[in-house]
Amino acid sequence: MTTDFDAHELRVVVQRLARRIRAERSDETLSDSQLGVLFQLELHGERTLGELADNERVTPPSMTRTVGALVEAGFIAKETSPTDARKVRLTLTTAGLAVIAETRRQRDAWFSQRLDELESTERRSLEAAANIMQKLADS
């Protein structure tokens, strides 16, 4: 079919672009797993340790360690759940919110700049493709 194109080529370019974006993070104070936890908490407001471990696909012992570092750094708060004393309730602190905002700002900065350099038709192409890629990522 004439409209078909190479799945391989698209896959590779998506992975390459993701690596390029990732390399742009200049502030290296937090590991990927630590950032993942902060973004989870931003999304959900509060989470238990087990929920975070499931979401990030790591084991509970790993999450205990990751959470411990974030508590020590002052980015998240940890307290026993009021309804079930086995559980721990984790929430973002003000400092945690700030570090998320700053990380996002850094990551977006490079990308925004590149987008600004494109033709408007190219931006529209990307906008249309973004929705389709969202579907692919969710499947």
Q: Which residues bind a second copy (CB under 8 A)?
A: 3-5, 7-11, 13-22, 104, 107-108, 111-112, 114-115, 117-118, 120, 122-130, 132-137, 139
> From DNA, a second copy, none, which one binds at residue 7 (CB under 5 to 8 Å depending on kind)?
a second copy
Strand segments (E) across the chain? 46-48, 76-80, 88-92
- Rounded CA separation 8/27 (Å): 32
- The binding track of 51-90 with respect to DNA, each residue x by CB under 7 A or -, is x-----xxxxxxxxxxx-x-----------x--xxxxx--
Could you tell me the smallest distance in angstroms from the CB atom of residue 123 to DNA? Answer: 35
- Burial (CB count within 10 angstroms: exposed 0-12, middle 13-18, buried 19+), residue 90: buried
User: Which CB, 80 or 134, lies closer to a second copy?
Assistant: 134
In the numeric block, which tokens belong to residue 111? 């990308």
Task: Provide, rounded to whole angstroms, the least separation between the CB of residue 89 and a second copy.
Answer: 27
- Length of the chain in residues, anyone? 139
